[in-house]
Structure 1
Amino acid sequence: MNRILTISSLTKRFGSLVAVQDFSLTLDKGDVVGVFGANGAGKTTLIRMIIGLTKPTSGEFTIATGCRIGYMSQSFSLVGTLTVMENFEFYGALYNLPQQEFIDQRDRFITHFKMEEYLNVRTDRLPAGRKQLLAFSISRLHSPTLLLLDEPTSGLDLLNRKRLWEAVREAAEEGIAIMVSTHYLDEAYYCDKIVMMERGAIKAYGDPVNLANKAGGNLINLFLEEMR
């Protein structure tokens, strides 16, 4: 079965504020779906509901049986008092990874993100961009089936944004289903499908190229039109 995630009419209200409204979506193996929107559009609340940190007001979602979930939050969830290498070891043990699998995965991300010079640096002393790349690596360490990334490239320079998206596409080629929230519209073309959110509701959904063509070849035009 290729279906990993099914979201049906998911809604979250905080008092009178509707954070996510009637959100429906499916995600299959190897899919990369980008969720775009301004700050406060509901992107983070959506992801927090899927991983169980926030309870929906109504609606439902189902995740494939036996699915392993990887999650990267905006706060990174790293252990600041540990070094980069120690963070890898801590999470490798937490995930109960076999030793060789852990070493292979760890070394793969160290090499891809060029972390060698930072391995013995405490995580709370890393540059912000390096923390993000480490947090992404940790979210992938246990080879998840479903990967949820909450604004993983926010604040990264262009080179490291490219490296991270290359790693996302590589994960998709391995069959991992991926949902990425972001506000960088130029990243839409790394995605198979995109969702544009405003005030918790889906305003546009589809292939980014097709959506851009409908808006005169420019996703920014579509975004501005839908956000009115």
Structure 2
Amino acid sequence: MKYMIELKHLRKKFCTQVVLNDIDLNVKQKEIVGLIGPSGAGKSTTIDTMLGMEKADAGMALVLNTQMPNRAVLGKIGYMAQSDALYETLTAHENLKFFGRMKGVTGDRLDEEIMHTAQVVELTADLNKRVVNYSGGMKRRLSLAIALLGQPELLILDEPTVGIDPALRRKIWHELNTIRTENRSVLITTHVMDEAELTDRVALLLGGKIIAFDHPKKLEQDYGVKTIEDVFLKAESEMDQ
């Protein structure tokens, strides 16, 4: 079985605080995996450690079967961080063109991808506006469009739908499902429990530990509840007992 991401016994602490405690997580090819949990649970730290932006204290983290950080592997990933990293004095189109070229996309293909990704995130009419004049939600949408450029084998999206209205969120999830059908994979973090229902598998992260990891319907069945939110609440209460 081909794993796009494979984390084994991953551990990370800052000073004396253990942020990730023996994390096991994997993402298969042609799969959308959700990583959910409240703010401060360790979702972003999991991604940062996985990508080599933070050094793990123990365990193994492989991305595309490679220990990170690795520049060649980064070129195959579409990464959207929790905070936007955009050139605000440039227009959205100029940002997309710059980052597309950084990913090796040029010519007509780049123009086509810019128009497609702008359409997905509903920024087509605002491509020629300077990013400094964008709202926070528009910047998130532009960051997502940049991550989609280059048709990456793996998308790693950290809270991509924050500040995005429900109709556009549905459109974005349609795009993610299309990506899955193309034998590509997605790891997405969110605190929106409804989004977890749309994944192939979902990992519940609490207090630096993954307390459950399976298909959403399987987790609901195992915990005897109807929604992933109820799974999370029940698993959390069981941890506290």
Q: Report the TM-score range of the alignment, normalised by the length of the smaller protein.
A: over 0.9
Secondary structure at the residue paired with 2:38?
Answer: coil
CA shift, 1:116, in A, is 2.1
Distance 1:136 1:113 in 2: 8
Secondary structure at the residue paired with 1:27?
Answer: strand
The 10-residue stretch of structure 1 (210-219 or 174-183) with the greater mean CA deviation from structure 2: 210-219
Distance 1:116 1:64 in 2: 32
Corresponding residue number in structure 2 for 1:203? 211
Secondary structure at the residue paired with 1:38?
Answer: coil
CA shift, 1:104, in A, is 1.9
Corresponding residue number in structure 2 for 1:222? 231
What runs of 5+ residues in structure 1 fail to find an aligned partner? none
CA shift, 1:113, in A, is 2.6
Q: Is the 8 A contact 2:197 2:228 kept in 1?
A: no
Corresponding residue number in structure 2 for 1:92? 100
Corresponding residue number in structure 2 for 1:10? 10
TM-score by length of 2: 0.89
The 10-residue stretch of structure 1 (85-94 or 39-48) with the greater mean CA deviation from structure 2: 85-94
What is the correspondence of 1:55-94 to structure 2 with a 5 Å cutoff? 55-64=55-64, 67=73, 68-94=76-102
Amino acid at match of 1:25: L
Secondary structure at the residue paired with 1:190?
Answer: coil
Q: 2:164 aligns with which of 137, 145, 156?
A: 156
Q: Is the 8 A contact 2:51 2:63 kept in 1?
A: no
The 10-residue stretch of structure 1 (199-208 or 162-171) with the greater mean CA deviation from structure 2: 162-171
CA shift, 1:114, in A, is 2.7
CA shift, 1:100, in A, is 2.2
Identity percentage of aligned residues: 29
Note closer, same or farther for the CA distance 1:151–1:37 as it changes in structure 2 (3 Å cut): same
Distance 2:90 2:220 in 1: 44
4+ residue segments displaced more than 3 Å: none
Distance 1:19 1:92 in 2: 34
Secondary structure at the residue paired with 1:8?
Answer: strand
> Alpha-carbon deviations, 1:172-225, whole Å to 9, x = none?
121222111100110012100000011110111100012123332122221112
Q: Size of the alignment, in residue pairs?
A: 228
Q: Is the 8 A contact 1:84 1:123 kept in 2?
A: yes
Secondary structure at the residue paired with 1:54?
Answer: coil
Secondary structure at the residue paired with 1:97?
Answer: coil
CA shift, 1:72, in A, is 0.3
Corresponding residue number in structure 2 for 1:26? 26
Secondary structure at the residue paired with 2:197?
Answer: helix
What is the correspondence of 1:90-129 to structure 2 with a 5 Å cutoff? 90-129=98-137
Distance 2:226 2:28 in 1: 27
What runs of 5+ residues in structure 2 fail to find an aligned partner? 66-71
TM-score by length of 1: 0.94
Q: CA RMSD in A?
A: 1.5
Secondary structure at the residue paired with 1:147?
Answer: strand
The 10-residue stretch of structure 1 (154-163 or 8-17) with the greater mean CA deviation from structure 2: 154-163
